[in-house]
Amino acid sequence: MIKIKLTAEDVGGKRYYLDLKKAAVEEHIVKLWSPTVVKRATIDDIEVLLRDLDTSSKHNVNFRYYKHRDSYFLQGLWRKNFIKRRSLKAGDEIGIGCDL
């Protein structure tokens, strides 16, 4: 559903989150969710089942919208479940989808 080209910060930095493109998330993910769930994601992390479309695996991660950054983020175990598991590097592209 969403393709993400990883940066050096995504794979090797000290960040614990992955910044997602707002337009892509709104077009492919949150429009499928109830308004209540979308609103909850602006207040607190919500746990989602993240689908790795390249390997057909599924992983629990945290999802949140931060108003002050006007952006959606994956947090929690996304780095372990994607970067480390697949030995990804800057410039690699991943495909993801999210289910509640």
Mean pLDDT across 75-96: 92
pTM, to two decimals: 0.86
Token pair listed for 13? 């930095």
Domains of the chain: 2-96 (2.40.330.10)
> How sure is the predictor about 4, in pLDDT bands with cuts at 50, 70 and 90?
very high
pLDDT tens-place string over residues 15-56: 889 999 999 999 999 999 999 999 999 999 999 999 999 999
